[in-house]
Amino acid sequence: MILIADTLQKHSLNSGIIQFPYQVDSGSVARLIDELNYLNTKEPLLSEITLYIMSEGGDAYAGLGAYDMLRQSVLPVTGIVVGYAASAAVMILLQGCRQRHAMPNARLLFHEARTFLGTAEEGHSQRRLSDGASELSIVQDQVDQILVERTGRSLEDVQTLCTSRDVWLSAQEALQWNIIDRIVGGPRC
């Protein structure tokens, strides 16, 4: 069974397809970078890369790293949300993909940038907690600015979307927000 899965994955990759069903972290982004670099060496044979995203999100720093690498791709990258994309995974779609799509039943989750800072009782000093909060604020400002650039929305609109509570958007709502360019894959029965 593993051999079949490996064969299918290699066939997909050689066809210009990257699947991203992972939590966004340094390991999954390293794998994404390897796959992007591999596909970019196939430029004469491929005209674009399709990135299928179904991810629970994860680390904002890793997500920004994926963004930087996707923006450097020689081949244009089309991102398609399948099922759901949460937080950092939405940022990968929004920031790194030149064309952004979602399947009709896809859901996208937005929230304020988050990280685990710990508490003073766990041995962290007040200064360490303050420094962590300052850094998180810088990351949130970066994400907000990218959202403004990619959606054409005002900073106030973006900050309303990225509140401290979770905000789930349907594919249709994501289209209205300019987070995706179109909904793909309608019924074929």
Among residues 12, 111, 124, 170, the one annotated as catalytic is: 111
Strand-pairing partners, residue 19, are 52
Q: Quick one: tokens of 14?
A: 């050689």
Question: How many Å apart are CA 184 and CA 81, to the nearest integer?
Answer: 10
Question: How many Å apart are CA 171 and CA 184, to the nearest integer?
Answer: 10
Active site residue 87: yes
Other Cβ atoms within 10 Å of 73 Cβ, number: 19
Question: How many Å apart are CA 90 and CA 66, to the nearest integer?
Answer: 11
Residue found by looking up tokens 């791709």 in the block: 73
Among residues 55, 73, 87, 101, the one annotated as catalytic is: 87
DSSP SS3 for 74: coil
Q: Quick one: tokens of 27?
A: 């390991």
Please identify every residue annotated as catalytic: 87, 111
